[in-house]
Structure 1
Amino acid sequence: MAGRPARVALALIAAYVVVRIALAATGGFYWDDLILIGRASTHNVFGWEYLTHNHDGHFMPGAFFVAGLTTVLAPTHWWPAAITLVVLATAVAWAVWRMIRILAGGASWATVAVLAFFLFTPMTVPSYVWWAAGLNSLPMLFAMAWLIGDAVLLCERGHRDSRLTRLIVGRSALVYLVALTCFEKSLYLLPVVFIATVLWCRGGADRGDQGTATIPGPLAAAFVGARPLWQVVAPITVAWAVIFLSVTGGQGAAGQHSIVQTLHLTWRTINNAVIPSLVGGPWTWDRWIPSPPMGFASTGQIIAGWAVLAVVVGLIVRWRRGAWPIVVAAAAYVALAQLPVMWNRSSANTALELAQTMRYLPDSALVMTAALALVAACPSVARRQETPLWPAAATAVVVLVASSGWGLWNFAQSWRTNPTPDYLRTARTSLQSDPTRIMFDQALPLEVLTPIAYPENQISHTFGRIAPRVRFGTVTDDLVVLDKLGRLVPGGVTPARTFAAGAGSCTRPEVQRLTRVPLSGPLLNWRWTIALSYCANRDGQLSVQLAGGSPVTVGLRAGLHVVYVQTTGHGSVIALRPLTPGLSVHTGEGNVGEVAEAALLK
């Protein structure tokens, strides 16, 4: 009989993997993904500066390393990133099934239902499809499930076999360390694993487990039973916490944080995300580009979610002996785990809808799964009441999976309304079409990445590793830019400031020595592009400089032409100085500003 639930579990995992493959195959890069690509394209991916970068309060050298390798392998191509997501998600499913079986004492129909909850809950999907979030959360989920399983194995089997104990501790320490390098939130693992072990040991006497029943008290049983593991992972936790704080200073996202808004965001997460997910919601997803999809659960779904929670908790407490501490521990984690995240995200510019993106919930889903597995291991108060319950439970699981599938379908449709994949594909082809062309750096479209991510929002960062390499320069007489679709189109310069034609003419050029051309107003210190029309009496070189910036040497051709110069500086004048003896230049009117599509400047 035990073999049949195991086979059904494997079939569920296979279905889960197929769904994950479909999601990855139809996905693409988004937001932070481009920041990872940009840094990997402009840094040594094996270098300390790259690996230990403080990314918006995150310390994640492992995730940076994976992102760097995939970028080097196939820059701006989605398929390597998709493979990493599928592989990691498959490993997580396997680790969770292993954890469930260890906690519940084997495969049964109850454990299959618990597995189905984890595999198909909407809480794990948004962080999966987003590559940067998946590189954070998936290793943490694997490590959490794996360490819970190993800690319980140590308590169950004791330390009689020292070689096996060393093997279990060694592999758990390695898994834990990898998770820490990918996401500092993995520091939560030690308390979660310890509490799960205590709760498992609490039911040891009722189950007749010899490894725990001989030690008085579940706390002592958990501590003694898995002591070799705690002796290794506790120092790792402390050391990594110190490293994390030294690198990031304990600072998350910038902004004026608010306790009141933190509580609002936390409540919104629970009421509008966690609760409807218990009935497969939300079914409705909306997206305001460039934000990620947000779930909008109906009032009916929220009420149904609370009702299901009340019924399930009521049945658990009534029919499973000693299950109430498990319920309390799981509920506490789901609520408390949101507070640090929402505190870091709280600011005057943070909308409450952030909580409805559901990308901060995968670890809560796993904790709830572990709690259900522990409940399944609790002895029944009245076994005769179990039989009528199973048809209803099986029906509930089928309904949940179907409801989650419909919500997943709608989420996937919303997620695909992402302009980034098409832009990257078109821009990559455009830039590779003429390797000899000199391109000016420019910002990615606002729908792809906003200037808040500067300098990673520059095309020189995003496409820095594509082959053949793009030639980025500071001087060109043929200005082309990428439009918002990624196509090469004629470029121009926005008139942030303008300057008038020189006092001379082509027959009487006025620039023969250092000459300062006044602008229509002052410039802030920034990277500016100058559109300079000129008439030169001969071929030669001209120095162009803004105040505070380095001079740029510009090659001129005899006759009437236009040249574009990109330089950094500020002030109210452009300094021009001929470098070639005998060179005289007359300047026409021009602009100083940002590169843009010429068609938009007409």
Structure 2
Amino acid sequence: MMAAFALIAVQLLIRGTVAARGYFYWDDLILVARSGDHPLLSAEFLLYDHDGHLMPGAFLVAGILTRIAPLDWALPAISLVVLQALASLAVLRVLRVILGSRPTMLIPLALYLFSPLTLPSFAWWANGLNQLPLQAGLALVTAEAILLYRTGRVRHAVTGAAALVIALAFYEKSVVIPFVAFVAVALLAHTSGIRRPLRSTARACAPLWASALVILAAWAAVYFSHVASPLRTDNIDDAAGLLQHGTSLGLLPALFGGPWSWDRWPPSPPWATPPVVLVVVSWLLIVAVIVGNHLRRRRIGWVWPSVAAYALASQLAMVTTRGGDATAVEIAQTLRYVADTAVVVAIALAIIDQAPRRATHPAFRPFLSVRSRPAFTALAAVAFLAGSLWSTFTFDQRWRDNPTVDYVTTAKAELAANRDVPLLSQPVSIWVLLPVAAPYNQSSQVFGPLRDRPAFSDSTPALRMLDDDGHLVPAEVSWVRALTEGMAPGCGTRVTGDAVAVAPGVDGAIALSQPVIPWVWTAQLNYLSNRDGTIEVSMSGGPPVTVPVHSGLGTAYVRLTGGGATVDVSAVTPDLNLCFGGGPFGSVVPAQSSDAGSRAAAGDDGALPNP
């Protein structure tokens, strides 16, 4: 046991180093954004459909850590190490339950602890909050099922059911846990010589299976009432390619210490790029392992097919939920969809190791003799650990190539130093979050949980924006369209306390040079006001925005949602009188980035009078 705990300590030291050198990535920022946008214990927050995932436990952990220290990587890194420790201890426990304290237990334990198969899902916080509880759940429920089978004590059914509930709270794939546990118990019964292992397993562990069915039924009711079906129908043609890449370039090399090298195109995650020689050797090694197991052990014929079925099911789930015309096959090489297979393989190796020995054929005795086995095992262990450590090192180098680090660090400092003027929300850098993450790619969402920052508003008197490096820079409105000069003599477009916007050319409606489609736009309103007051600005199909105005000449930059041919303005303050001149209408860009030609493209000659 001391050796097992020492291996776990070494693993946590290595994984802790990877976590400490990592940072927030993609979905992590969505977790942070939602944590600052919703009450912690609300159903809207905990039961959110996150791209097909139902993960209230993960949201709860993310919400608590975000409230303690928003956008501070220290706490998420610590949470990953803690969850990894729980998963590793759970795997150790199930291996001890199967094998006792025999030294060979260290082989499947070391495979789980150091295989790069689980590394990418550990390093990515959002994925670790899914995968690590699943891995712990697989080991814990399987151990409790085995103990229930052996002892008949109902407390093992209660503990197993509780572990299943917790795992389901973090990841919907945890529905597989009872089935893995059932197969593991049945395989152990079969290797022990039980004539009807399936019937024996069903009867002996009936309290656990009955509890699991009730739990799964209740979970399914919640899942399908809150999550849209993630299944895709446009991905059948991609299945073969995804399965080939996921198995030959992902799963098998990682089981033997690979892939040794990784590639990455930010903002995508790293994916395994094993050399051809490693791919070939991995296939040869898995065949050798399976053949060697059957030469040495009896009654294990269903073990490796069960492992293969689990790995295939995991990859088919990836194909049916993530495949499609726009999906690159490299997604299968990211390993996160098959990471939990490491636990299943460790359990399978333990089941094989306790199976009865087979009489060795004379032709194989030189290779399988007791005398030669320690030297071969030591050589294989050294090769596996060396490959795994190198793969961990190369992954860490790629994982640290993360534009989010500099962007968020710089933006936090800039926002803290410039809290005087409200900011319009704008998309963050595309190197951090692509538009497909909308609305959580908005700066108001990502940085909303911060305490030291300016207010995010739909209007501001001074336009600034975060550039791609995270610096807060002066900005302007691009001339996608022009807000045209109104017809009121000496005023432009007039708005008074009792004016209501109805149509172009009528007081309160500022006409655009050309109509626009429904979208998120920014208008630069140049005005002259008789006093301080408040106006409402809106577009067709969008909500009104309340905008403060000040006495005299002024400018208000307003973020609007909607479309049409006008920007409609009405005065909220009863005795307010304003005149509006022309101005740009479009998107927010760094100052001095637009040219005079863009004004002409907008349908305006650029000669916009001031009010």
Unaligned runs of 5+ in 1: 1-5, 160-164, 206-212
Q: Which residue is 2:156 aligned to? A: 168
User: SS of 2:223's equivalent?
Assistant: helix
Q: Which residue is 1:229 aligned to? A: 208
Are residues 1:593 and 2:586 paired? yes
Are residues 1:88 and 2:83 paired? yes
Are residues 1:527 and 2:520 paired? yes
Q: How does the TM-score come out when normalised to structure 1?
A: 0.91
Q: Which residue is 1:458 aligned to? A: 442
Q: Which residue is 2:603 aligned to? A: none
> Do the aligned partners of 1:190 and 1:237 also contact (CA within 8 Å) in 2?
no
Deviations 1:122-141 (A, max 9, x none): 11011111111111111111
Are residues 1:132 and 2:105 paired? no
Q: How does 1:59-208 map to 2 (within 5 A)?
A: 59-104=54-99, 106-156=100-150, 158-159=151-152, 165-205=153-193
Give the distance between the partners of 2:291 and 2:590, measured in 1 at CA: 63
Q: What is the identity percentage for the equivalent residue pairs of Structure 1 and Structure 2? A: 35
Give the distance between the partners of 1:476 and 1:546, measured in 2 at CA: 18
Q: Which residue is 1:340 aligned to? A: 317
Give the distance between the partners of 1:309 and 1:582, measured in 2 at CA: 80
User: SS of 1:58's equivalent?
Assistant: coil
Q: Which residue is 1:512 aligned to? A: 494
User: SS of 1:337's equivalent?
Assistant: helix
Q: Which residue is 2:541 aligned to? A: 548
> Do the aligned partners of 2:235 and 2:319 also contact (CA within 8 Å) in 1?
no
Aligned AA (2:483): F
Q: How does the TM-score come out when normalised to structure 2?
A: 0.90
**How many residue pairs get matched?**
576
Q: Which residue is 2:609 aligned to? A: none
Aligned AA (1:54): D
Task: Note closer, same or farther for the CA distance 1:10–1:582 as it changes in structure 2 (3 Å cut).
Answer: closer
Q: Which residue is 2:251 aligned to? A: 274
Aligned AA (2:145): A
Q: How does 1:562-573 map to 2 (within 5 A)?
A: 562-573=555-566
Identify which range, 574-583 or 336-345, moves more after superposition.
Answer: 574-583
User: SS of 2:577's equivalent?
Assistant: coil
Identify which range, 320-329 or 142-151, moves more after superposition.
Answer: 320-329
**What's the offset of the Cα at 1:258?**
2.0
Are residues 1:52 and 2:31 paired? no
Deviations 1:217-255 (A, max 9, x none): 222332233233223222212322233233224x116x5
Q: How does 1:172-571 map to 2 (within 5 A)?
A: 172-205=160-193, 216-249=195-228, 251-252=229-230, 256-382=233-359, 385-468=369-452, 470-502=454-486, 508-513=490-495, 514-536=507-529, 541-571=534-564
* Cα RMSD (Å): 2.1
Aligned AA (2:566): V
**What's the offset of the Cα at 1:541?**
4.8
Give the distance between the partners of 2:61 and 2:406, measured in 1 at CA: 23
> Do the aligned partners of 1:199 and 1:374 also contact (CA within 8 Å) in 2?
yes
User: SS of 1:397's equivalent?
Assistant: helix
Moved over 6 A (4+): none
> Do the aligned partners of 2:253 and 2:274 also contact (CA within 8 Å) in 1?
yes
Task: Note closer, same or farther for the CA distance 1:337–1:515 as it changes in structure 2 (3 Å cut).
Answer: closer
Task: Note closer, same or farther for the CA distance 1:325–1:582 as it changes in structure 2 (3 Å cut).
Answer: closer
Give the distance between the partners of 1:354 and 1:285, measured in 2 at CA: 13
> Do the aligned partners of 1:278 and 1:308 also contact (CA within 8 Å) in 2?
no
Aligned AA (1:274): L
Identify which range, 349-358 or 64-73, moves more after superposition.
Answer: 64-73
**What's the offset of the Cα at 1:279?**
2.8
User: SS of 2:589's equivalent?
Assistant: strand
Task: Note closer, same or farther for the CA distance 1:355–1:599 as it changes in structure 2 (3 Å cut).
Answer: farther
**What's the offset of the Cα at 1:333?**
1.4
> Do the aligned partners of 2:24 and 2:73 also contact (CA within 8 Å) in 1?
yes
**What's the offset of the Cα at 1:25?**
0.4
Give the distance between the partners of 1:350 and 1:574, measured in 2 at CA: 40
**What's the offset of the Cα at 1:257?**
2.6
Task: Note closer, same or farther for the CA distance 1:309–1:537 as it changes in structure 2 (3 Å cut).
Answer: same
Task: Note closer, same or farther for the CA distance 1:416–1:599 as it changes in structure 2 (3 Å cut).
Answer: farther
Give the distance between the partners of 1:555 and 1:336, measured in 2 at CA: 58
Give the distance between the partners of 1:153 and 1:89, measured in 2 at CA: 24
Give the distance between the partners of 1:185 and 1:148, measured in 2 at CA: 16
User: SS of 1:350's equivalent?
Assistant: coil
Q: Which residue is 1:210 aligned to? A: none
Unaligned runs of 5+ in 2: 496-506, 596-611
Give the distance between the partners of 1:197 and 1:599, measured in 2 at CA: 69
**What's the offset of the Cα at 1:298?**
1.2
User: SS of 2:302's equivalent?
Assistant: helix
User: SS of 2:441's equivalent?
Assistant: coil
Task: Note closer, same or farther for the CA distance 1:582–1:33 as it changes in structure 2 (3 Å cut).
Answer: closer
Deviations 1:404-456 (A, max 9, x none): 11111111111111111322222222222243421111111111111111111
